C-alpha cells in the first residue's frame, strides 16, 4: 500500500498519540529514503514505507506503538521500520518533519540522503531522488564528493563515487 505525504503525516500524528498514552519520554526518529523525499519535496506521490533510524526509545518499544498505529489506520505492519539502519553511517538531523509532545521526527540531512541514494543506486527512483537531492546542494563535484564521504561505508565509496560522476555529468555536463 503506497503511502502519500498526507498518509505519512497522519500516521506520525497517530504514532505521537499512541506514544503519549504510554507516558514515555519523547520518542525521536530520523527519516531516510523515499519517505524523506516525499515529505521534504513532494518528489513523488508516495513511497512504499517509512525508513527511519530510531534514536529513542528502544526499537522494541517503538515497534509496538508502530504496530498499534498500523492496526488502527489499516496500514502495513512495517509502515515505519528501521530496516535501513544498517546503511546509515554517521547519523545527521536535517529538517524537522513532525513535532508533538511525545514525538520528534527529523529527516536526515540532504548530504546524508544523497549519499544513501548514491550508495543504493538501484533503479530509476533512486536516480531521480539523487538528481533532486544533488540539485539542492551547492558546490563543485569534488566539494560534494567530500561532503558525502563521511556518510558512506568504505565498501560503498566506489559505487557512490561512480554514481555521483554519472549523475553530475547528466545534470551539469563534463565540467
Provide the pLDDT for residue 32. 96
Q: Are residues 99 and 85 in the same domain?
A: yes
Q: Are residues 9 and 91 in the same domain?
A: yes
Provide the pLDDT for residue 144. 97
- pTM across the whole model: 0.92
Q: What is the pLDDT of residues 119-133, one digit of tens each?
A: 998 878 889 999 999
Per-residue pLDDT at 62 exceeds 80: yes
Q: Are residues 143 and 57 in the same domain?
A: no
Provide the pLDDT for residue 25. 79
Per-residue pLDDT at 23 exceeds 70: no
Mean pLDDT of 72-79: 95
| Nearest-angstrom CA–CA distance, 62 and 56 | 8
Q: Structural domain tally of the chain?
A: 2
Q: Is 60 exposed, middle or buried (0-12, 13-18, 19+ CB in 10 A)?
A: exposed
Per-residue pLDDT at 86 exceeds 90: no
Residue 126's alpha-carbon distances to 43, 103, 133, in angstroms, are 11, 28, 10
Per-residue pLDDT at 44 exceeds 90: no
Provide the pLDDT for residue 49. 93
Domain that holds residue 87: 3-108
Amino acid at each position: 500500500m503506497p503511502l502519500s505525504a498526507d498518509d505519512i503525516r497522519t500516521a506520525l500524528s497517530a504514532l505521537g498519540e499512541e506514544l503519549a498514552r504510554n507516558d514515555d519520554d519523547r520518542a525521536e526518529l530520523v527519516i531516510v529514503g523515499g519517505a524523506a523525499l516525499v515529505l521534504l519535496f513532494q518528489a513523488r506521490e508516495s513511497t512504499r514505507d517509512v525508513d527511519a533510524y530510531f534514536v529513542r526509545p528502544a526499537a522494541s518499544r517503538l515497534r509496538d506503538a508502530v504496530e498499534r498505529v498500523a492496526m488502527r489506520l489499516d496500514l502495513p505492519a512495517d509502515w515505519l521500520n528501521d530496516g535501513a539502519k544498517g546503511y546509515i553511517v554517521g547519523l545527521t538531523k536535517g529538517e524537522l518533519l513532525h513535532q508533538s509532545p511525545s514525538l520528534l521526527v527529523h529527516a536526515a540531512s540532504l548530504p546524508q540522503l544523497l549519499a544513501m541514494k548514491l550508495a543504493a543506486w538501484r533503479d530509476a527512483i533512486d536516480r531521480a531522488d539523487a538528481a533532486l537531492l544533488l540539485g539542492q546542494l551547492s558546490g563543485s563535484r569534488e566539494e560534494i564528493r567530500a561532503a558525502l564521504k563521511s556518510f558512506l561505508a568504505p565498501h560503498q565509496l566506489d559505487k557512490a563515487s561512480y554514481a555521483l560522476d554519472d549523475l553530475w555529468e547528466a545534470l551539469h555536463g563534463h565540467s
